[in-house]
Amino acid sequence: MRWTPRIRPPGRGRRATRLAPAAAARSTSTATAGPEGLRKAARRLPPETGRRPDFAGQSFAGSASPQPSGAAAGLATRLLHQDDRLLILDKPAGLPVHAGPRGGPSLEDWLPALALGKRRIPQPAHRLDTDTAGCLVLGRTKPALAELGALFASGQVAKTYWAVVRGAPNAGAPDAADGVVAAPLLKRSTAKEGWRMVVDPAGQPASTAWRVLGAADGLTWLELHPRTGRTHQVRVHCAHLGCPILGDPRYGGGEGRLHLLARGIALPLDPPVAATAPPPPHMRAALAACGWRDAT
């Protein structure tokens, strides 16, 4: 079944709340909405909950989150790209794109504030797991959302992920530096463990190219390029290679924060659009141990 973006008409989306300013600098092209529009968005605050997105730290913690200090600064520092057709947002790890059956905060709460002068509320053009940080594309108009949906559905969008994994890829050769894992994925559910994706010949075809960027004792830093867009594809394929992602208990990576970043995205539009997201704070220590250096 092909996933279709959810479109909410203006005025029917979830209410906006305030965003705290992010500490990390971005290389971004942004424009700000008029002050009156941002003031209106900031006034539409939902009731406080026990968990609140930490936009300064790119996490989704509760009591550790700083107090919101206004929508404008938070929005400006999270936008990796903005034009009349689309936005590319650096989504914080731990923030779901859509509200789940149990409720709670989600990106939907902030979509009205992301209109930034447009009458239509922007909508996600693709999926990004709750615990994955990084590039999320939002369509700002109905034609743009349809075009973006077609590009994602046809596999024309180039996606780059970074992951820190436990161990090293078991690719059939010692010290293999790159490769492609082609393993079909099937959704499986049990009453005890709930649902998960598994490698199964009866599943949908799925392919991911990977290469090693660095390593440390017991950890490997991988760059991954999913060629298909299956649910949990990168996570399951890393586990299938014998190196589950650090902080991914569902697929064998142990407890903690998920060390997975939607690092970059390239859209074959006219003109082409591309963006790169910085590593979230919780990934930086493991990345640095594997050889990453912060260029900023």
Catalytic residue IDs: 129
SS3 content of the chain, % helix, strand, coil (to 5): 20, 30, 55
Q: State how far the Cα of 281 lies from the Cα of 91, in Å rounded to an integer.
A: 13
The length of the chain in residues reads 296
CA dihedral 27, 33, 35, 39 (to 10 degrees): -100
Token pair 């992602």 is at which residue?
245
Q: What is the DSSP string of 222-268?
A: EEEEESS--TTHHHHHHHHTT-PBTT-GGGTS-SS---EEEEEEEE-
Q: State how far the Cα of 214 lies from the Cα of 221, in Å rounded to an integer.
A: 5
Going 32 to 35 to 41 to 42, the CA torsion angle's sign is positive
> Token pair for residue 186?
């099937």
Supply the DSSP symbol for 110.
Answer: G
Residues 6+ apart with CB under 8 A from 217: none
Q: State how far the Cα of 229 lies from the Cα of 252, in Å rounded to an integer.
A: 21
Q: Cβ-count burial of 112 within 10 angstroms (0-12 exposed, 13-18 middle, 19+ buried)?
A: buried
